[in-house]
C-alpha cells in the first residue's frame, strides 16, 4: 500500500505503530521515555545507537517554532548520552518550510529531518547523520509505503557555509552569537528567556509558587495540561507556552481550547484568556526572597 491510497487514511502515528512492531520483531528497544517533554518523543536503541525522535502532524504547514523546540529537546538528550552514538530525527507531515530546514541543517550531523506528504506519497529528507537506524527507517518507508524521497539540498551544500539573513534568529544562532537576555539571576537562571524553550524552563522553576502542578504534555496543542489549586481542590488547566502572548494569536491557536498563556512578555492587551507573564512573576518573587 502507498501513502497516496486515499481508501485507507494513514497518519504519522499509524505509520510509527507499524514501525515499532517491526523493530520489536528485530529485537530493538523502543520504550516511552517520560523525561522527553514537552511532547511525545520515543527512543530507539540498536547496536549501540540511540535515536530520539519526534512526530509532528498538522492540518497545515508545521510551524517553524515547533521544529525549533523539538530540535532543542533532541539536542539536549543527545548531549546527555556521551557513551553512545546518539542521533535525533524529526518527522513532519505535511512538508514544512525552509526556515525549519535551516534549523536542522545547522545540526545535520546529529539530527535528521524527514518530511512526508501523506496525500501524494512523496517525501523529502535531510540526513547526514550516518545513523543506521535512520537509514533503515527511510528505506522501510520507501519499500513499505512507496514513498519517493528527494534530498533536501537547497540552499544547503554539505561542508559549505551559506550566507542567509533569517527573519528571526534561531535558538542555535542566538547561542553561537553569544547573545543573552537581560540579567535576572533567578533560581539558577542568570539571564531572561529569549525564546519559548526558555519560557518553559523558567516556568518549571515557579510552578509551585503559582500553585500549578504538571499532569501531561499532549501530542498537539496545547503544550501542557496541569492542575491548579483552588481552595482544597485541584482544577484542570490547559496551558500554552509562548515567548510573547501575542504569538498565541499569530500561531492561529484556538482560545476556547486553552485556559492560560504562559509567556515572558505580555503584549496582547485584548487577550481573551488568562495570561501569566513570567517577567512580572519573578519580579514579585525576587522581591520576597
User: DSSP for 47-108?
Assistant: TTEEEEEEEEE-SSPPPHHHHHHHHHHHHHHHHH-TTSEEEEEEEEES---HHHHHHHHTTT
Residue 4 pLDDT > 60, yes or no? no
Q: How far apart are CA 92 and CA 160, in angstroms?
A: 25
Residue 9, pLDDT score: 63
CB 264 within 8 A of CB 243: yes
Q: Where are the alpha helices (DSSP H) in the chain?
A: 12-25, 64-80, 98-105, 132-145, 171-176, 196-206, 246-250, 278-288
pTM: 0.50
Residue 122, pLDDT score: 85
Q: What percent of the chain has a predicted confidence (pLDDT) above 70? A: 74
Q: pLDDT class for 135, splitting at 50, 70, 90?
A: confident
Q: What is the mean pLDDT of the chain?
A: 77
| Section 126-131 average pLDDT | 86
Give 12-151's CATH code, choosing from 1.20.1630, 3.40.1350, 3.40.50, 3.90.1690: 3.40.1350
| Section 221-235 average pLDDT | 92
Domain(s) labelled CATH 3.40.1350 in the chain stretch across 12-151
pLDDT in tens, 269-278: 999 999 999 9
Residue 233, pLDDT score: 92
Residue 220 pLDDT > 60, yes or no? yes
| Section 218-236 average pLDDT | 90
Amino acid at each position: 500500500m502507498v501513502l497516496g491510497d486515499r481508501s485507507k487514511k494513514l497518519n504519522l502515528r499509524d505509520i510509527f505503530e507499524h514501525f515499532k512492531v517491526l523493530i520489536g520483531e528485530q529485537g530493538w528497544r523502543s520504550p516511552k521515555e517520560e523525561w522527553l517533554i514537552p511532547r511525545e518523543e520515543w527512543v530507539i536503541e540498536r547496536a549501540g545507537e540511540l535515536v530520539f525522535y519526534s512526530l509532528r502532524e498538522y492540518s497545515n504547514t508545521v510551524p517553524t517554532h515547533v521544529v525549533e523546540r523539538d530540535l532543542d529537546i533532541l539536542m539536549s538528550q543527545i548531549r546527555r548520552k556521551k557513551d553512545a552514538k546518539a542521533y535525533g530525527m524529526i518527522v513532519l507531515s505535511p512538508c514544512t518550510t525552509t526556515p525549519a530546514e535551516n534549523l536542522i541543517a545547522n545540526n545535520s550531523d546529529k539530527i535528521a529531518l524527514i518530511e512526508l506528504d501523506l496525500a501524494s506519497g512523496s517525501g523529502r529528507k535531510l540526513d547526514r547523520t550516518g545513523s543506521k537506524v535512520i537509514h533503515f527507517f527511510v528505506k522501510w518507508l520507501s519499500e513499505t509505503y512507496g514513498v519517493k524521497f528527494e534530498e533536501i539540498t537547497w540552499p544547503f551544500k554539505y561542508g559549505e557555509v551559506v550566507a542567509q539573513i533569517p527573519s528571526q534568529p534561531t535558538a542555535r544562532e542566538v547561542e553561537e552569537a553569544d547573545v543573552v537576555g537581560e540579567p535576572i539571576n533567578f533560581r539558577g537562571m542568570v539571564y531572561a528567556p529569549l525564546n519559548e524553550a526558555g519560557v518553559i524552563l523558567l516556568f518549571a522553576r515557579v510552578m509551585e509558587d503559582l500553585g500549578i502542578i504538571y499532569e501531561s504534555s499532549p501530542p498537539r496543542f496545547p503544550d501542557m495540561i496541569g492542575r491548579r489549586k483552588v481552595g482544597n481542590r485541584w482544577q484542570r488547566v490547559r496551558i500554552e507556552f509562548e515567548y510573547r502572548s501575542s504569538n498565541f494569536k499569530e500561531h492561529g491557536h484556538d482560545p476556547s481550547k486553552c485556559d492560560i498563556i504562559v509567556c515572558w512578555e505580555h503584549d496582547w492587551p485584548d487577550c481573551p484568556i488568562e495570561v501569566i507573564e513570567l517577567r512580572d512573576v519573578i519580579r514579585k518573587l525576587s522581591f520576597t526572597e
